[in-house]
Structure 1
Amino acid sequence: MDSDLPPEGVVTASDDTALTIEEALNRPDPSTEPAPPVDDAGEEMPGTVPQAAHDYSGIRWPEADRAPDYAWIAGLATPAVFDLTAETIEALLRLNRYVPSRETEVIAFALRGASLVSGHSATKAGSVAIKVTEPDHRNFRCVIGFYFHGERKLSAFTGSTVPCRKAVFGSKHGGDPSNMLLTGMYSYYVWRHKTLTPALRLAKSKADLESGAEATVLRNSADLMLDTADVFDPSTPLDNIHCSYLLGESSDLGAQFSSWGCLTVRGTKAPSDEWKMFQKVLSGVGLKSRVDLMLTTGKEAAIVVDSGNNPENIEEKLGALRQGSRGEEVKRVQVKLGIDASGFWGPITADKFTARQRALNQAAGKGRVADGIYGRSSDALTGWKVFAGASA
């Protein structure tokens, strides 16, 4: 029977442990993301899609009711500005049934569709002022940082969690395939991205830091927009967290950052700017350490803050299951999907659920769409009564 296992339940056979760290880092990186478009001197390098073929005018973020991470909350009001705190992070963890590893001092977080109200960084702060924005394949419209759970402090940096415009363009026009990591909880390890060390690597375990962990990602194909009609692909995307490689916009990339699916922190390879501060935290944590990442949206965080950071106040609105969720409610969904009830929402559960969601939405006259998130609307659509604790 198909089964999703939590990161600590994955058994891997690898020779990583037999190598010294230096030997392991000297091996070729299997990451498929194209080389960055600039060298250390900031000179643009040629890309895989010819310059003459670039026409990024049609690339845009979808309307809220067609954006996978936003469709399920499209009708909810959102404060424009809010203060992100430890209480907000903890509330989001509970609402999504996430149980992150706390074996190191930090849990990583990323807010898609958000920006810092002031500057590009905030370090070891009790609260961080955040503005809700719309994600953008061209500009930095995300915040990536660390939650120091013991101290209940936050460090936050300007970044991006979406592919750049060239990547979206190339996916349709024969360039290197790109993807977008969907909101969820993912296990990363302090390791490398290509020649960048340290960086955060999406990996299976400490025993296998190279081959990558499986995840269900969104890929565009029919048009130049990533929306609920696109492909949810269970794959091994190697969506690591690395520097943006540049600070201003690249004419080749059509963006301020180089990403075909990885999350990026503002700064250059040198390292510089926010990436330099990000790496300092990673160095303190140590190579091969596990750092779980909660990827969410600025809008969800804002709604949580507006509720007083009390999950009970908004459980009906924001209580949800998605990649990385755990528990009995996940088991109930898995039983309904006819897969092994492991209690962990991984790529198998995500794949089966999005297929069922598409079929049900099509039957309901909503089109063959899916967002991969099991909230109260999904309970109504399926009739499974997952959150009520009953089986239909």
Structure 2
Amino acid sequence: MSEKQVNQIIGKVFNQLADTLISGEYGQKPKVLVTATGSEHGEDNIFSASLNANRNGADTTVIATKEADGVKTVLVKSEDEAHKVMEEMLNNKEVDAAVTMHYPFPIGVSTVGRIITPGTGKEMFIATTTGTSSTDKVEGMIKNAIYGIITAKACGIKNPTVGILNVDGARQTEIALNKLKKQGYDINFASSKRSEVGAVMRGNDLLMGSCDVMVMDSLTGNLMIKIFSSFTTGGSYESLGYGYGPGIGEGFDKLILIISRASGAPLVEGAIKFASDLVRGNCMKIAKEEFENAKNAGLTDILNGLKASKKTEEAEEVKAPEKTVVTSQISGIEVMDLEDAVKILWKNNIYAESGMGCTGPIILVNDAKAEEAIKILEANEFIAAEKTDC
């Protein structure tokens, strides 16, 4: 054997060792497909991101209308053709995951974003950012929590902490998730870094990264991901983070991650890394296990229970009892439920008034009636039965 042949063999061995260190699996890198058509910053933006991602352990293929040196390219003539080719390659298992600028996910599937929080530099998952988990907001947020847990676990966080952003539906989501936890589904609730404790997060917690998974509705999540990715650029160029993330939903078996037409090369590179992490973490397997665990803990019954009315009958007229001094505050009630919660207390001969505190909606009752009022509101699921575990 010649010296040249020996050197070639040694070089090949070292390349394979390098691949092993990067990919964690001998000789294999995650195969990630990226569509370049439609980018507001041009296809070269995607090529640049792909080249950098390849240097860091990915194996990318770009679907584009032109070629670039050093990048595997599939040529197409239009954006519509690009998406058809993308689906074919995913279906044929030619690639492990795809990163694209939009995708018509079915109802029940939504995307989990991944950001870098500016307060601490900590990564946080935003559940969710595009798509529709459910046509009912609270049901959607409950599902979003599970989607976020799946994604965080696939990215290597064994026991992710979960917080719920203080938007409409947060308190009802907290009640439902607490019930799911009591019935056996493992949820590791976070605690706000503000003076208030509990899993319902303030806006400050978004900046501080107070939890691994921040649950919210997808419209709010879409707004958040745009702000966090482009607040340093004025909005026209998304430069920070990992994008809008993978579409997660029960029965959805393709790993498709979303970026924006405004996403710049650094964020696209982050999205490719995100996809690679999910492939290495076996996201589809984790999703199947988590959905099964949640169902075994009664998820279906909890979601069905949301549709059953827990409010006072509209036809029933409830009169306020005799007015008393009200100085005791009860928080943790949805703003949409305030009127019904007050009427429940009136019906039980407790005078109550609604108001707005610094952390959100409150009900005011007499100090002597506070404990009884809390029990009634808990029994009717207007507030959580106990503080969330941290």
Q: Give the TM-score normalised by the residue count of structure 1.
A: 0.25
Higher relative contact order (CA 8 A, sep 6+): 1
Per residue, is there more helix in 1 or in 2?
Answer: 2
Greater radius of gyration (CA): 2
TM normalised by structure 2 equals 0.25
